[in-house]
Amino acid sequence: MSGTAKTATGIPPSLRLIAGLTLAFANFMVILDLTIANVSIPHIAGSLGITLEQGAWVITSYAIAEAICVPLTAWIAFRFGSVRTFLFSMMGFGFFSLLCGLSVSIEMLVMCRIGQGIFGAFLMPMSQTLLLRVFPPEQQNIGMGMWAMTLLLGPALGPIIGGWLTDNWSWHWIFLINVPVALLSIIGGAVLLRPIETERRVLPIDYVGLVLLVIWVGCLQVILDIGRNHDWFGDPLIVVLAITSAVAFLIFVVWELTEDHPVVDLRILRHRGLSVSLVVLSISFGAYFAGFVIVPQWQQAWLGFTATQAGYSSSFSAIAGLLTAPLVVMLMPRLDPRLLVSGGIVWLAVMGLLRTFWATDSDFWTLSIPQFVQGLGMTFLMLPIINLTLSTVDEHEVASAAGLQSFMRTIATAFATSVSLTYWGDTQRAARNDIAGVLQPDAEGGAIAGLGFSPEGARQMLSNMVEVEATTLSVLHVFWTTSAILLIAAALIWLAPRPKRSGGVSMGH
């Protein structure tokens, strides 16, 4: 039986949607855990008696483990089978989620978050690969649409759900809610997915490649996590980590290209459509995520938004994406996917430029409506580029391509977070100096003092006003920069060849 026949007949048509939702919901849970802890860090720090910087390791430990393990997905899937890998990963994720919720110390919580990241890393590409096998070729856009929606909903709903659970229950519940979801996914997967299990292949373990991968990814992730607080390359530790990461990466690339059974199959990058799509996905998703990181912090720290209000404002983007997803699925078989991707990226860039008109006194809806309009174009980027990435590789390379896709997106997210926060801080200081340079403190201070403030109070109020305006200007600088980057990505996608298979990712030859 060919791969295509197995895909079309392995699962009864009446159960395909349920099987697809099982896989999509499992991926949603993993994506959700990337951001659900963000708003809970102050509560976790206070509960465990640690600093906020120590509490941040709850987030970074998960990201490091995930980034290291995502590229191993193809080897694990070949060794144990795709369905077995999915079910075992879901068991591990649920188990470590339970332990995270029961943690009584930062050491226990960080170790359990590492366990979550390890098993969650396999769930993302495995859910994507199995969704392609659940639906026949003519319906695979439905599966990819379901999967891509989790990429939008997870980051948007994470802060909302995390904030609500933390405020109304406790931070432990942001992890404990994963347990019943994991149990349902395990039961549903065991019952529905057995017919689409892949053949097992016993492959030797590439120990050298695995060690090199851990070194260069681990060092890079640590640099991105602590660089902002350590003056980047002004700190000898960052320099050592950077050199170690670069050297390990170069050796890793040479080794994997010459190894008979590499732990990460870099040879699939010979497909120009895959390599170009991965570059465009990384650039565009990173530029999009930069705004997602900056805006909620700006809203809370300087505009007086609560964490819940900021979370709701960010969620408008995902809501809009849900509305346009059916349209994109309908257009994908009919239009060149490069046109859809390029159009979606240009839409995001234009929305970024429109947000450069934001001001310090902008209200909730002034800030939220552009988020909604931006989300209308996000699915035009995500759905076709996922299809474009996987449709250019051979059947036996789909798992490797899906793993690389998840890896690049994870690295792009970490890179965008660190770089955008650093750029935001640098431009904020520059804007503050520019504003201070044109102010006349005596005149402005005298005007404020005339309102009944003391001289010291007037100076403090003037300083606060400068700080708020400088912060807003720096946010606008971020949007100018990300819009320019997005326009470059919109042009780069045309370097990819038009895929021969459009409208679906064939699983057979």
Q: Is the pLDDT of residue 426 over 60?
A: yes
DSSP at 17:
H
What is the mean pLDDT of the segment spanning 300-325? 79
**Three-class HEC string of 393-456:** CCHHHHHHHHHHHHHHHHHHHHHHHHHHHHHHHHHHHHHHHHHHHHCCHHHHHHHHHCCCCCHH
Closest to 331 (Cα-Cα) out of 377, 370, 398, 395: 377
What pTM was computed for the model? 0.77
Q: Is the pLDDT of residue 277 over 70?
A: yes
pLDDT score for 28: 87
Between these two residues, 49 and 34, which has the higher pLDDT value?
Answer: 49
The total of other beta-carbon atoms located within 10 Å of residue 188's CB is 19
Of 98-107, 204-213, 392-401, 442-451, which one has max mean pLDDT?
Answer: 98-107
Q: Is the pLDDT of residue 405 over 80?
A: yes
Cα dist. 243→253, 266, 426 in Å? 16, 22, 25
Q: Please state which of the four CATH numbers 3.40.30.10, 3.40.50.720, 1.10.357.10, 1.20.1250.20 is assigned to the domain occupying 1-203.
A: 1.20.1250.20
Per-residue pLDDT tens digits for 76-96: 888 888 899 999 999 999 999
Between these two residues, 306 and 412, which has the higher pLDDT value?
Answer: 412
What's the token pair of residue 425?
Answer: 């801080």
pLDDT score for 453: 55
Q: Is the pLDDT of residue 480 over 50?
A: yes
Between these two residues, 370 and 414, which has the higher pLDDT value?
Answer: 370
Per-residue pLDDT tens digits for 184-210: 999 999 998 988 888 887 777 788 988
| Percent of the residues in the chain that have a pLDDT greater than 70, as a whole number | 89
**Three-class HEC string of 79-98:** HHCHHHHHHHHHHHHHHHHH
Of 147-156, 243-252, 470-479, which one has max mean pLDDT?
Answer: 243-252
pLDDT score for 53: 62
Cα dist. 341→103, 290, 415 in Å? 43, 19, 22
270-509: CATH architecture: Up-down Bundle (1.20)
Distance CA 396, CA 391 (A): 12
Q: Which residue has the tokens 């379901």?
A: 146
Per-residue pLDDT tens digits for 229-274: 777 888 899 999 999 999 999 999 999 999 888 878 888 998 998 9
pLDDT score for 393: 84
